[in-house]
Structure 1
Amino acid sequence: MQWAIIVAYIAIFAVFLYFISIRPQKKQQKKMDAMIASLEVGDSILTTSGFYGVVIDITDEVVIVEFGSNKNCRIPMQKSAIVQVEKAGGEEE
């Protein structure tokens, strides 16, 4: 009888842990994946390092971003380094 109670407590704790930590993290990852999938040329982005830039080319895993008013500052970076996307029309994701 005591083992059944211990197993029930462990099961309840596992479910609690899932809803507190794992589920919100998966939701956030899906949101980020959708944001990266909707990325288009001309969108303004914010990188993980805090730089703002404009997307000028997109490949499978790499995005070429133009930083600042100097049109010669074009840097390739991974899509995973993008934190925020602002569409060319002005809507923010």
Structure 2
Amino acid sequence: MGNTLLSSTDAAGSAAGGGLIMIVYIVLIFVFIYFFMIRPQKKEQKKQAAMLSQLAIGDCVLTNSGFYGIIIDITDDTVIVEFGNNKNCRIPMQKAAIAQVEKADNE
């Protein structure tokens, strides 16, 4: 009878230890997700927003669809981009459609 009392206490202690280990694993998974998924995404969004806030007329841009063009007008959330050399293809688009910016040389 003394053996059963001792073994039941050991079982309760190991179950509590197993629960603690599970909580530690869950916390580690959330830390991993934050540092390797959420944080880099927020950093990239801040970088994109900074790039779009520094747009200027005359900048060469690459759109998300893969077209290169020159900005000829900027409003609050849209830009007018001129594509090609013939100066006839001017398309208004949202700033969010711009993937990359090359600043115009002022030399």
TM-score, length basis structure 1: 0.92
1:31 aligns with 2:47: yes
1:1-93 paired onto structure 2 within 5 Å: 1=16, 2-89=18-105
CA RMSD of aligned residues (A): 1.1
**4+ aligned runs moved over 4 Å, structure 1:** none
Instruction: Find the aligned partners of 2:65 and 2:32 in 1 and give their Cα distance.
Output: 34
TM-fit CA distance, 1:60: 1.0
- What TM-score does the superposition give when structure 2 sets the normalisation length? 0.80
Runs (5+) with no aligned partner, structure 2? 1-15
Q: Distance in 2 between matches of 1:75 and 1:38?
A: 20
Shift of 1:73: 0.9
Report SS of the residue matched to 1:69.
coil
Aligned-partner Cα distance in 2 for 1:37–1:4: 48
Question: CA–CA distance in 2 between the matches of 1:6 and 1:89?
Answer: 58
Q: Normalized per residue, which structure has more helix? A: 2
Largest Rg, 1 or 2 = 2
Of structures 1 and 2, the one with the larger relative CO (CA 8 A, separation 6+) is 1
SS in 1 for 2:70: strand
How many Å apart are 1:4 and its aligned residue?
A: 1.8
Name the amino acid aligned to 2:89: C
Mapped to 1, the partners of 2:94 and 2:86 lie a distance apart of 21
Q: How many residues align?
A: 90
CA displacement at 1:8 relative to structure 2: 1.1
